Chains A and B, each alone.
Chain A
């Protein structure tokens, strides 16, 4: 067997509940992003671009979309005889059966996967950020420092540092203290949730803390290692790194892609982002279409107008429809003459003709004001919106809705129309 110096463990089991109905049926790492990608494509592509060809993907919440997306890893060249990508769901053991109860617990339950490869180092990653990072460089740094653990960190604006877990280091970047969401931060180096462990250190810590309930890297493993005097270093990353954990940040990160010179460049030949794409065909822009600042995925047909938007693959925007400041994901249809403003429309949604979406006064969402905010209209996947309805701001729609469910043909700002369990 070819010896692997470093393998990656990618935590992809989280729901990402702050993405509201977008994660109703799919895990957050499988949510679409940027016209053709899914969030997990970024860490997976980083892995292969960094020469890490053995990746365990830990899944738990709604894994179907993730499983079909990853498959045997062909798009990332992770279909290997030895190594490659392995999906690692929770499983029943002879003595007990439990879910993954925390990030470190999930890794602990897959100790044998790591033992099988017996690497020198283990890279632990999350599946919910948009960034390009060379993990090989971080590994070189880890080795140079003769470190036991290296945390990737990023400098954040001082005024925002109190929202993050920050690290305080000595002059050699060795971490001396951790502060979780400090009121008066003494450092602006935020932990990115990306760790390189020397395998022996990780194994020992996981076994020692195996009884810890909800064992978590940030809360348990790293403090434990730090307290016993392990060499824990901070690696400073200075590229683009975007959390897309809320609908607002998810929307903003998508919108950044359409800048003339975007700060996050998908067109970079030397660090490609790979994805599984069923769609190969080109897009068609009709004779009376208008497109003004947009990125548009393969196979989409535009007969109407698109302004300042991110349009996924295989979308149809019918004649007379106007889409503004919105994200429309794979396979959705926007009916003729429909106006859409500042909406996130998930995959395979059918919006009828002559609708007005995202209009009117802004009012807070009455159901989940912390999730559905910033004036966004959020439509969950496979939803249907009937012809001719008007939908206000800070609204959420999920399910196959019919005209009767819109009083006077209107869903007021701040209202929600979520039909659960509507499978026929």
Chain B
């Protein structure tokens, strides 16, 4: 019990377009059976961090519903467990979370009432597997004040929306560059931090006092020289969902056997809320190629290079290519879908044609169902 966890799950991004009009990014369905926040939560529980706060704000209903029981991540504890903190109006405070630092500081009671020496801060929109204990151990070994987990972006991923990090030979971070316009540096911060609990409280207090509500500018960049901020380079897959393209690519990455195996077959597991859906069913006309299919789905048509989430109904003579079909969608007979993300609970009418030309088309067609 060396650490407590904080998962920042309040964020939203306009670059997710309509996808986040209904839910926070942390609640975005990922890889057929999961939600984005499952990865950070599972990493916490797999790292034996048993007291975790999830800070929510934007469109949090779907996220709260997902987290309504903490037992699936084994947080159903008498001591510790899962805490959900949405902004609240109090005698002293009537603001929403004005930034990441403010979000944590508004819940400083959680920090003050804990006795664990370290805090692991993670975001709810990262897709990765990481043992946070390794980061904590590195943090202790390097005598760092703050440790920032970094990763090297793979080829083809645009670095301009990340914070790039430059380190010296002792892994100490010498410069941060937020969202560089032109930079060849592909080492970026993953938004995962380890810091001593008391130091975090102290730095947050100063930052908030100066009306700086953002963790990166108010804490990291500001104390870059006074405090020892070290980098911990994480190996393995890491993806951050912030744009439609990221979201699409991240899901499609799971069609790659190596990536899939690293999440699904290697120890430890990623957990999620259990939905009690029956196995997927393939009727005689089904043709499925290179696709992920989640439980509760019934397939009558053709599915290629796609990710089909839970409880999707795919009618006769339907063709789905290179698309993501989110939970509980009904695709009626004869529909043709290519390069699309079909929103949850949508209904695609009979014979409809939905094709993303040149870019991914987000299809959100709701028919009221009761």
Contact = CB atoms under 8 A, between A and B. Distances in A.
Nearest to B284: A293
A263 to B, nearest CB: 14
A273 interface: yes
Given A267-B296, A285-B293, A280 B282 contact: no
B101 interface: no
Contacts of A273: 276, 278
**Interface size grouping (class) on chain B:** 35 or more
Interface stretch (B26-34, B118-126, B350-358): B26-34
A424 B80 CA distance: 41
Given A260-B283, A298-B279, A299-B264, A282 B290 contact: no
B291 interface: yes
Nearest to B304: A287
Nearest to B299: A291
B154 to A, nearest CB: 21
Contacts of A57: none
Contacts of A281: 31-33, 263-264, 270
A185 interface: no
Residue from A74, A274, A278, A284 whose CB has the most chain B CB atoms within 10 Å: A284
A74 B71 contact: yes
B280 to A, nearest CB: 5
A297 B290 CA distance: 17
Majority secondary structure, A binding face = loop
Interface in A306-347: 306, 311, 313
B32 A282 contact: yes
A282 B292 CA distance: 6
Given A284-B260, A287-B290, A299-B264, A277 B274 contact: yes
Given A281-B31, A281-B32, A282-B295, A36 B71 contact: no
Interface string A245-271: 000000000000010100000110000
Given A74-B71, A282-B295, A285-B293, A291 B282 contact: yes
B288 interface: yes
A376 interface: no
Contacts of A102: none
A391 interface: no
Nearest to A316: B265
A-B residue pairs, 5 tightest by C-beta: A282-B32, A35-B279, A266-B278, A282-B294, A287-B290
Interface of B: 31-34, 71, 255, 260, 263-264, 269-272, 274, 276, 278-284, 286-296, 298, 303, 307-309
7 contacts: A36-B278, A283-B294, A284-B291, A285-B303, A286-B290, A296-B280, A296-B293
Given A282-B293, A291-B287, 11 more contacts: A278-B269, A280-B269, A281-B263, A281-B264, A282-B31, A282-B32, A282-B308, A292-B282, A296-B281, A297-B295, A311-B279
